[in-house]
């Protein structure tokens, strides 16, 4: 998927998608993604199997991540260059949100 | 001989996936267990009496599951019971926090959307048949005998009932898509 199309589809993205992409800067399988996200968010976000499976399918289909290896029928995924670009743009958007909401807290 | 209980048309009584899951959970809590799910279980399910257990069930419609589908669920601790048509049934025993397979709004809605999509296939097929017969009746009436005509009208009426029912089912699941 081209960057423009991916941008249209993924920005802004859900927390789930954001954290999955963030986790996949390192190669991981589904369960490891869940553990990593749980740790990052101090247990606030615990991704379920169905959510991880369907999100990975969608991200892979759109070329934001790719499967790099397979062990015991588990696929290991990693972010692609398109995925990294989208993740950075989303991070910039969130940083702007953060900056502009500073006065509220 | 273990005590058994047969329930007819479980998948048709509990059309919304979340309702089917909750019902299986209530059955297990009363000690009624189904340990294997097979093709025909949408028509009837046989439960065996055992110890009451706290299980969370998940029904997931997957038309073409990738090969890491099962491994992903199993690694999260889900036990695969089997499938009826494309509906995969999973369960997990729990104590306090009820486990979820779909943990954000998007994926819950997507899960329910896949059920609506499955129903829409039959819906569309029946609709095509209705239109086909209707065209035959109105555009080529001379090619039909009186009894042909009666039969076609009867079949068309029956299919129309199916289409209306399937339409209601789709609407009903869609109204409950957030669950």
ipTM for the predicted complex: 0.91
Residues B83 and B31 in one domain: yes
Q: Do A51 and B103 touch (CB under 8 A)?
A: yes
pLDDT at B56: 98
DSSP state of B146: H
Look up the domain containing B167 and give its range: 105-175
Residues B88 and B152 in one domain: no
Measuring CA to CA, which residue among B161, B128, B159, B156 is closest to residue B144?
Answer: B156
Nearest to A55 among B67, B107, B111 (CB): B107
Burial annotation B151-161 (CB, 10 A radius, 16+ → b, else e): ebeeebeebee
Number of A–B residue contacts, CB under 8 Å: 72
State the average pLDDT for chain B.
Answer: 94
* Predicted confidence (pLDDT) per residue in B102-156, tens digit: 999 999 999 999 999 999 999 999 999 999 999 988 888 888 888 888 999 999 9
Q: To which residue do tokens 């199997």 refer? A: A49
Distances (CA, A) of A58 to A49, A53, B107, B110, B159: 14, 9, 11, 11, 36
Angstrom distance (rounded) from CA B143 to CA B176: 47
Does residue B36 lie in a domain region?
Answer: yes
Pairing mode, if any, of strands B32-33 and B55-61?
A: unpaired
Residues B145 and B122 in one domain: yes
A102: its two tokens? 């500073």
Report the domain count for chain B.
2
Q: Do A54 and B107 touch (CB under 8 A)?
A: yes
Nearest to A31 among B76, B103, B111 (CB): B76
Does residue B127 lie in a domain region?
Answer: yes
Pairing mode, if any, of strands B79-84 and B32-33?
A: unpaired
Nearest-CA distance from A44 to chain B in Å?
A: 11
For the structural domain made of A3-104, what CATH number should be given?
1.10.10.10
Contact of B103 with B76, CB cutoff 8 Å? no
Does residue B145 lie in a domain region?
Answer: yes
């Amino acid at each position: 998927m081209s960057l423009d199309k991916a941008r249209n589809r993924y920005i802004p993205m859900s927390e789930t998608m954001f954290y999955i992409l963030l986790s996949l800067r390192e190669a991981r399988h589904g369960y490891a993604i869940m553990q990593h996200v749980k740790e990052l968010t101090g247990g606030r976000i615990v991704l379920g199997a169905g959510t991880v499976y369907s999100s990975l399918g969608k991200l892979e289909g759109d070329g934001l991540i790719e499967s790099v290896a397979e062990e015991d029928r588990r696929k290991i995924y990693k972010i692609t260059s398109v995925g990294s670009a989208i993740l950075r743009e989303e991070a910039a958007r969130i940083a702007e949100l953060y900056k502009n909401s500073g006065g509220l807290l | 001989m273990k005590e058994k209980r047969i329930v007819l048309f479980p998948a048709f009584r509990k059309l919304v996936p979340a309702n089917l899951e909750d019902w299986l959970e209530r059955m297990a809590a009363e000690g009624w267990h189904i340990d294997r799910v097979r093709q025909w279980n949408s028509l009837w399910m046989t439960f065996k009496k055992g110890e009451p257990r706290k299980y969370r069930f998940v029904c997931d419609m997957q038309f073409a599951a990738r090969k890491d589908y099962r491994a992903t669920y199993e690694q999260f601790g889900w036990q695969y019971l089997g499938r009826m048509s494309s509906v995969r049934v999973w369960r997990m025993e729990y104590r306090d926090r009820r486990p979820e397979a779909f943990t954000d709004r998007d994926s819950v809605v997507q899960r329910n959307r896949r059920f609506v999509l499955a129903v829409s296939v039959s819906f569309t097929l029946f609709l095509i048949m209705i239109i086909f017969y209707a065209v035959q009746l109105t555009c080529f009436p001379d090619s039909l005998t009186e009894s042909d005509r009666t039969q076609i009208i009867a079949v068309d009426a029956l299919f129309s009932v199916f289409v209306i029912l399937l339409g209601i089912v789709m609407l009903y699941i869609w109204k409950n898509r957030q669950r």
